[in-house]
Every structure is written in structure tokens, then in C-alpha cells.
Amino acid sequence: MAVTGVLRPGFVQLRVLDLGEAIVHYRDRIGLDMVGEATDGRAFFHAFDEFDRHSVVLREADSAGIDVMGFKVSADSDLDHFARRLEAMGVGTEEIPAGEMPGVGRRIRFTTPTAHVFDLYAQMDLSEDGPPVRNPDVWRRDPRGMRVERFDHCALSGVDIAATARIFREALDFALTEELVDEGSGARLAIFLSCSNKAHDVAFLSYPEDGRLHHASFNLESWHDVGHAADILTRYDMSVDIGPTRHGITRGQTIYFFDPSGNRNETFSGGYHFYPDNPVRRWDGSHAGKAIFYYERQVTESFMTVTS
């Protein structure tokens, strides 16, 4: 499979209540490298194994949550192509000029029926201390904290997740990899979408309020690193949601916790490889326990109700 069009999740901009506390969390505990701080108070980070300038942006605000998730596309012409297809579906777009976000080219912005804001962009400056490419060592500096390799995906909560998923599938060529469906009503409870051969690049979860962040997720190299993340969480008395455990859906090995502002984070490893000819994996709502937490076989109250 040649990955074209939308390549991958590129960045997430999160709102935090106290930028200083958040920097300690994302830099020292999760292990991201801080790139710089813009004059408008945003702080920029990237993981040690990411080439681009930044993948996480923190913005100090009065409420926690997500401002925008960005997807990188393979060519500048893709931006016009996808803008036309979004508009044809009745999804309004706006162009944000190059440079509004430091190091990033022009962006096409749209908002989903679940009130989540997404940007498409084709160009971002390379990081000055990204992964080596000539006779490359495994990393440039010893990974820190939880040793996350990359920003991986977001799970976003809202009301009409089926309508939002339709936009990603029909206008942006995402594939449906897996879904959790109420077998009585047929309502989608959770939808997992991929633009690559990952089990998911974005997920949408049914929730009574729009525009909410369920979690922002970072990839780890191994199940052993999930245990190491658990050690970090306990060593620094951080707020744990659940784990280490495993998902039935995507089969990722995972641990969930909260940043100091109440944004849920995930660090995970594993999961299957997806190819576009794979049948859709479908879970019945009556099997939601195993689907979501394969070892506990039941869903926790906090995981279903807490968003930011």
C-alpha cells in the first residue's frame, strides 16, 4: 500500500489551565522535547522519534480540552483537493495562512458535526534535533520520562459520531477499521478510523456533549514501556485512570492517566496492522467490556463519563 493523501496525525493543540505545570507533565513525565514558546503563550513539543518540528501544542486557557487536531497530507495540492471534497459534502472550510503556527505551512480547517476542529497541512519544518538519518543511532539523546516515540491519535467525544466519521471516510479517504455498535438500535457507540496501516489514527466516541476530548495518545516501543509508564505515574503520584491493560478494540496495550488540567492521556504499544482490504471488525455493545478493557472485561465509570 502506498500511503497518499492524508498521511498521519501530525499535531494536537490542547488547552491547559497552568502552562508551567503542563510543561513539567508533557516534558518531564511523558518525555517530549520542548521546541520553543511562541509569543502568544503556546508551548511546542515533539517526541524523540518524530522528524517534524512539533506534534504537541499547549495553550494556556480557562478550560481544559482540545483546540484542534492536525493531519499532515502528502502534497500541497492535496489541500485544495480535500477542501473541494469537504465543500462538496457541505462541510465548510477556511484557509489559515502559512506561519500562523510557527514552522507550519498553510492549513485547511474544518469543523465536524461533533464540533471538533481539524486542520490539514502539507508542510512543517523539520526538527533541529530530530531522529538521525545518516548511520542512524536508535536515538539522538537518551529518551526521558515515559519515553514516548510519537503522538499517535486522539479519541474525541460527541453526539453524532456517525456523521463525523462519514466525512473522514468520504471526503478524506479514511478507512473504518473497527466499531462498537448497540445491537438493539444500531447506534454507533465508538468508531475507529485509519488513514494508514495503523489500527486507528482517530476515534470518535458517542457522548451527550459535543467538542470533547476523550484522550490524546502517544506510542511506546513495547509492553515493557507501558509498565515503565506505570512506574512513572506512581513515582510522581500522578492521576491514573486505568491500566496497564489491553484493549480488545485495536488490541493495543495501554495505560490512561490525566494531565494536571484534567486532559486524559494514553500511552500504549502494539495493536494490529491494518490494510485497506481487511474486513471491518465489529463489536456488539453487549461485549463492550472486553472490547474496551480486555483483561478487566468491564468498562469503568470514569472512562465512560470523564472528558475535557
In angstroms, what CA-CA distances link 125 with 6, 27, 47, 76? 18, 21, 15, 14
Give me the least distance between CB of 241 and Fe ion, in Å please. Answer: 12
Cβ proximity to Fe ion, 178 vs 266, nearer residue: 266
* 243 to 282: interface string for Fe ion, x by CB under 5 A: -----------------------x----------------
- Residue recorded with cell 453487549: 286
d(CA 30, CA 295): 24
Catalytic residue among 46, 153, 214, 228: 153
Catalytic residue among 46, 200, 214, 228: 200
Q: Which of residues 155-174 bind Fe ion (CB under 5 A)?
A: 155
d(CA 220, CA 204): 22
Stretch that binds Fe ion, among 188-196, 214-222, 274-282, 290-298 (CB under 5 A): 214-222
How far is residue 47 CA from its own chain's centroid? 13
Question: By three-state DSSP, how is residue 150 classified?
Answer: strand
Q: Give the binding-site size for Fe ion (rule: CB under 5 A).
A: 3
d(CA 237, CA 239): 7
Residue of 138, 167, 145 whose CA lies nearest to 27: 145
Stretch that binds Fe ion, among 89-97, 112-120, 141-149, 217-225 (CB under 5 A): 217-225
Q: Can you read off the three cell numbers belonging to residue 52?
A: 517534524
CB neighbour list of residue 307: distance below 8 Å, 6 or more residues apart = 157, 207, 209, 212, 213, 214, 264
Q: Which of residues 126-155 bind Fe ion (CB under 5 A)?
A: 155
Give me the least distance between CB of 267 and Fe ion, in Å please. Answer: 10
Cβ proximity to Fe ion, 48 vs 218, nearer residue: 218
* Known catalytic membership, residue 54: no
Give me the least distance between CB of 118 and Fe ion, in Å please. Answer: 17
* Known catalytic membership, residue 153: yes
d(CA 141, CA 131): 9
* Known catalytic membership, residue 200: yes
d(CA 121, CA 176): 22
* Known catalytic membership, residue 287: no
Strands, DSSP E only, in 163-275? 175-181, 188-194, 202-206, 212-219, 240-246, 252-258, 264-270
Asked whether 111 and 92 are in contact (CB, 8 A), the reply is: yes
Site membership for Fe ion, residue 217 (CB under 5 A): yes
Give me the least distance between CB of 287 and Fe ion, in Å please. Answer: 18
Give me the least distance between CB of 38 and Fe ion, in Å please. Answer: 28
Cβ proximity to Fe ion, 119 vs 152, nearer residue: 152
How far is residue 163 CA from its own chain's centroid? 19
Cβ proximity to Fe ion, 50 vs 266, nearer residue: 266
Stretch that binds Fe ion, among 126-134, 189-197, 215-223, 272-280 (CB under 5 A): 215-223
Cβ proximity to Fe ion, 78 vs 152, nearer residue: 152
Cβ proximity to Fe ion, 155 vs 156, nearer residue: 155
Point out the residues that are catalytic. 153, 200, 215, 247, 256, 266
| Site residues for Fe ion per CB under 5 A | 155, 217, 266
